Amino acid sequence: MPSSHQHGETPTETETDGDGQKETLQAARDAALRLLAKRDHTLRELALKLKARGFDNPISEKVIEACVRNRYLHEDDFARSYRRQMTSKGYGARFIRSAMKQKGFEDRQIDAAFSEYDGATDEAKAARSAAARKLKSLRHIHD
């Protein structure tokens, strides 16, 4: 099969022409969309997962930029959703903030996610909900 590369070279992700880059870019795009179809990700998480799948930074950056541009990946919305989800599971503000930082959210995104958060009310509600679930599970043990 003829190739535009000499001496068995493989196409790099920084090339701007040729089918190899288009195929690599499409494969990275497909991988990113599969990941995002399963659950939301931060930019950092998606970049790490694409790297783990063998895509170098220039390709990953292009794919991530396209995902943001097309609103497949929107960290601000994800930050609010993640905060609500963690609160509903009974986690407190300090734990959630730490978890969000580890996921790669920026401080401004974390602060915005907590701007609608009423810590005392939300945490008390989450604690009551967690206690009710635990009580329900314990009742099944004794039945």
Reported as a single tens digit per residue, the pLDDT across 73-124 is 999 999 999 999 998 888 888 999 999 999 999 999 999 999 977 665 666 7
pTM: 0.68
What's the rounded Cα separation, in Å, for the pair 4 and 28? 22
Give the mean pLDDT of the chain.
82
What's the rounded Cα separation, in Å, for the pair 37 and 116? 27
**Which one has a higher pLDDT value, 40 or 119?**
40
Quick one: pLDDT at residue 119? Answer: 61
Instruction: At 107, list the tokens.
Output: 């401080």
**DSSP line for 47-67:** HHHHHHTT--HHHHHHHHHHH
Quick one: pLDDT at residue 22? Answer: 84
Least confident of 53-62, 65-74, 121-130: 121-130
**Which one has a higher pLDDT value, 100 or 125?**
100
Query: Is the model's pLDDT at 141 over the cut of 90?
Result: no
What's the rounded Cα separation, in Å, for the pair 79 and 110? 7
Query: Is the model's pLDDT at 14 over the cut of 60?
Result: no
